[in-house]
Amino acid sequence: MYAPERQQEILRLARDSGRVDVLSLAEEFQVTAETIRRDLKALDRAGLVRRVHGGAIPAGRLDFEPDVTEREGTAADEKDRIARLALAELPDDGTVILDAGTTVARLAASLPLDSALTVVTHALPTAARLADHPGVQLHLVGGRVRQRTRAAVDAWALRAYGEIRADVLFLAANGFSAEHGLTTPDLAEAAVKRAAVAAARRVVLLADSAKYGQEHFARFGDLSDVDLLITDSGLSPEDAAAIEKGGTEVVRA
């Protein structure tokens, strides 16, 4: 089978099932995983699929959302660098909100033991990381827990964020751009993020550069709602400058 024929078949499989993974395709077509990755890269460049960790989804699937355990291993080095830079944005003896997101969870895991902070979060993985931290007064926001993100949502969570004020929110997003703002696949989670933004004096977005230009189903804010974006060097200087023209400071790890 020639590459164009194989790519056409991969596209059909992706559209039929909603997702394809590299290893299964390699086995089915009796080629190497690297060959499949090249096929997916070609289809991605053509705008026919969108590459995700371990495979691809059809272009236009705005509601697609990988599980949190899958996202943990995506862009791991970039997320670690972003989390280290974010430590400089922690207030002294202040209050922070930690959003649900794998990069924000890395920040939580990196908090120095001598930190003296009040931390509010609706993310179960983040709360678990901080439960035994000696310097953190932890407040866990309740609600219905979404299995894909391990985040609390709905009325309880919205009410909690409506009753507090925080110095800094460390925010996560599945996609961000000047055109489409801040987006995530789920409406309930978007509502909680919006409430957290409203509860904070300062908003710091932690997002790797692969999320720039991505668009998802639920919109929860504009880039102008963000005071500081911490991302990685994969975001070009030109794109960073364009974002800064809108009033958001950009730091590239």
The tens place of each residue's pLDDT in the chain, 253 residues long, gives 788 889 989 988 988 887 899 999 999 999 999 999 999 988 888 778 888 778 888 876 666 666 666 556 567 899 999 999 999 999 999 999 999 999 999 999 999 999 999 999 999 999 999 999 999 999 999 999 998 899 999 999 999 999 999 999 999 999 999 888 999 989 999 999 999 999 999 999 999 998 898 888 899 999 999 999 999 998 999 999 999 999 999 999 9
Query: DSSP readout, 117-151?
Result: EEEEE-BHHHHHHHTT-TTEEEEE--SEEETTTTE
Could you tell me the CA-to-CA distances from 165 to 58, 67, 169, 205 in Å, in that order? 41, 30, 10, 18
Q: Which CATH number fits domain 3-61: 2.40.30.10, 3.40.50.2300, 1.10.10.10, 3.30.450.30?
A: 1.10.10.10
Which sequence spans correspond to the domains of the chain? 3-61, 70-252
Q: Which fold has domain 70-252?
A: Rossmann fold (3.40.50)
